[in-house]
Structure 1
Amino acid sequence: MLRAVGPGASVVVCSTCRLSAEQREDAAGRRGGALLVEALHRVRDGDPAYAAVAVQDMPCLFACDRHCAVHVRGTGKVGYVLGDFTPDEEAARAILDYAARHAESEEGVVRYADWPQGVKGHFIVRTPPDGFVCS
């Protein structure tokens, strides 16, 4: 069930997420999560500013009430699950902008003033790194 991935900064995308709150798939039968994975890869591969952030996917993050969910994480850092994105390049860029700032931070905490507008209102939960809790 588990698939090994490299350590470090990453955005883990739920590849089976709904397209939207109202729709499971687009007209071609593609899930929103799969479309978001593709958008994230296109944006990441087209901009060297995102080279330090891996894009990984897995089926179901169990955030099913919130479509197009992602987990922003890094080794030894607080992680964040976000959702309710439109699976397009604008959302992908906002997610990667946030993930790059997260990667640059010491503990995974990015000042609110530095959040891209496109991620505000999308946070679902924060996750402590293994061996720590937040104080």
Structure 2
Amino acid sequence: MAEGQTVSLHVCVTCRAGEAERDGMAPAGRRLHQQFARALRERGDGDWIELKEVTCLVSCQRGCAAAVSTPGKWSYLLGHLDDSKLNDVLTYLRIYRDSKSGAVLPSRRPASLQDAMLGRFPPLTPPPDGAS
């Protein structure tokens, strides 16, 4: 494990994932964020995954979306997410964290996430001091 590295998971809480807006029903993205929060508490991964809300990742036609980032590493935009992929996303985050550059080859990603990778972005900030 890359010591001291926190992985940020930004979940779009306004994603509707094709659902019609209904009174009293939270958007699909909000519900997914809540499911991630619950899973992190139950699995004990909250010490290295920082779950964040974001209001729009401009991936509305691609279901629920999330972005993954760590200073000094490639960042990724994921789409087509739902609760059936939650555990695979958490597995992916562990592989991402353990990768020096953040690059995770398709052969190392959980099979359910093969269509989830919408884009990647070069490191926008340097790694923190002492991180490799």
Interval containing the TM-score (normalised by the shorter chain): 0.7 to 0.9
| Residues in 2 aligned to 1:112 and 1:67: alpha-carbon distance in whole angstroms | 21
| Residues in 1 aligned to 2:22 and 2:103: alpha-carbon distance in whole angstroms | 35
Report how far residue 118 of structure 1 moved: 2.3
Change (3 A) 1:8 1:24: farther
| Residues in 2 aligned to 1:53 and 1:33: alpha-carbon distance in whole angstroms | 18
Report how far residue 51 of structure 1 moved: 3.5
Q: Counterpart of 2:63?
A: 67
Change (3 A) 1:36 1:113: same
Give structure 2 stretches of 5+ with no counterpart: 127-132
* Equivalent AA in structure 2 for residue 93 of structure 1: N
Q: More strand by proportion, 1 or 2?
A: 2
**Over 4 Å off, 4+ runs:** 25-28
Report how far residue 109 of structure 1 moved: 0.7
Q: Counterpart of 1:44?
A: 40
The count of aligned residue pairs is 122
Q: Counterpart of 1:112?
A: 106
RMSD value, Cα? 2.1
TM-score by length of 2: 0.81
Report how far residue 9 of structure 1 moved: 0.9
| Residues in 2 aligned to 1:27 and 1:13: alpha-carbon distance in whole angstroms | 22
Corresponding position: 1:54 with 2:54: no
Report how far residue 28 of structure 1 moved: 4.4
Give structure 1 stretches of 5+ with no counterpart: 1-6
**Contact 2:77/2:117, CA 8 A, preserved across alignment:** yes
